[in-house]
Amino acid sequence: MPVAKENYSKQELSSLIQNNHLFTHFQPIVNITEERIQGFEALTRFPMNDSFKSPIELFQLADSTGSLFQLEKHTRKLAIDRISPYLQSHQQLWVNLTPTVIHDRHFTPGFTHSILEGTNISPEQIVFEITEHSAIKNFSSFKRLLNHYRKQGFKIAIDDVGAGYSSLQTISELKPEYLKVDRSLISDIHVESEKQCMVEALQQIGTKMGAEIVAEGVEKDEECLQLIHMGIELLQGYYFAKPGYPPQSLGSKTTRRLRNKYNESRFPLTIYEETTFEDLVYWISQYQGPVDHRFVIMKSHHTKAVIPLNELYRFMGNHWSEKESEAWPLLLHWMKKTAPSS
């Protein structure tokens, strides 16, 4: 960037802060299983200008001009002040933390804790979202800062996992409580098996490390259903709400839609009296979702029952030689035979 332009941009950045022209929008992070908003990500916004086209450019300039700590401190206080009247005790506020801020000569830890004093928000409700615009050069120093935050009750998330600088080294070094999967891996995940494999690998990493997965950038009905099928509970994106202020709640229509999606995932198959073995074989050959914690509904005029999906697989394996017979009576008999005795 030319010196004259950089000086102009720096002046505009300073003006945005000093004149309180920055503002915060909030986007919900939805817990599908519990049908509620788990928290809100704070997103910095500003009026249109000639220097910054995106928040990333704003923070990059602040970093390069030694103003990063000033900007992060200002935007964090703004986010906490604006969310305070709305954030419920079971909800979280997710705020960005740039690793290079520790190299800012003005940086002093502890200001977030002081901002929270006098509000109804506790440190346990704050999640620091590590946003990397450049590779972390000194993990030791940054880990000491994160350990300081954790001792106070704050939690850590890594943003943009699967893209940019959010590497496996970052995950293994920082040991976050949350992994936010970048939208590049979520977009069209319902039709791209490669993305499904990558997200499943991240799920395994998260399980081993005790970190929850958050899927970012969910925009389509099919993406939402695929992620539910894969067992991901925390979702974020335009499918639920665009960033805005005041923070949005889940309306009854959205809650019903989520419940239907969740039930559709939990109960992927309904068997009727007229269902044949051939129907079941075909369904199993096409089904690509998980088996554990999934159930089959058996439904007729006289019977309605629920059996685990893995029991259906066992049933099919044990009765393969009888596949020319009717499926319904054999399945009823199987249920009675395998039901635990009282």
Domain-located, residue 48: yes
Q: Is the pLDDT of residue 50 over 80?
A: no
Domain-located, residue 165: yes
Same domain, 312 and 205: no
Same domain, 289 and 234: no
Same domain, 52 and 118: yes
Q: Is the pLDDT of residue 270 over 70?
A: yes
pTM to 2 decimal places:
0.80
105 vs 40: which has the higher pLDDT: 40
Residue 41 belongs to domain spanning: 3-254
Same domain, 33 and 158: yes
Domain-located, residue 83: yes
Same domain, 242 and 281: no
Burial of 131 (0-12, 13-18, 19+ CB in 10 A): buried
Q: What's the confidence (pLDDT) of residue 147?
A: 92
Domain-located, residue 262: no
The tens digit of pLDDT for each residue in 5-14 reads 455 577 888 8
Q: Considering its fold, how many domains does the chain have in total? A: 2
Q: Is the pLDDT of residue 230 over 60?
A: yes
The tens digit of pLDDT for each residue in 121-156 reads 999 999 999 987 667 888 999 999 999 999 999 999
Domain-located, residue 40: yes
- CA–CA distance, 24 with 78 (Å, rounded to integer): 7
- Cβ neighbors of 42 (< 8 A, separation 6 or more) are 24, 25, 26, 75, 76, 79, 83, 93, 94, 95, 96
Q: How confident is the model at residue 3 (pLDDT cuts 50, 70, 90)?
A: very low
Same domain, 175 and 218: yes
Q: What's the confidence (pLDDT) of residue 184?
A: 95
Q: How confident is the model at residue 341 (pLDDT cuts 50, 70, 90)?
A: low
Q: Domain holding 139: CATH number? A: 3.20.20.450
Domain-located, residue 260: no
Same domain, 235 and 278: no
Q: Is the pLDDT of residue 4 over 60?
A: no
* Segment 99-104 mean pLDDT: 87
Q: Is the pLDDT of residue 200 over 90?
A: yes
Same domain, 225 and 281: no
Radius of gyration of the chain (CA): 25
* Domain-ending residue, one of 221, 254, 287: 254
Instruction: Say how many Å lie between the first and final Cα of the chain, rounded.
Output: 77
Q: What's the confidence (pLDDT) of residue 7?
A: 59
* 3-class DSSP assignment, residue 21: coil
Q: Please name the residue ranges forming H helices in the chain.
A: 3-18, 55-64, 68-83, 111-116, 139-151, 168-174, 183-186, 193-209, 221-229, 252-266, 277-286, 309-318, 327-338
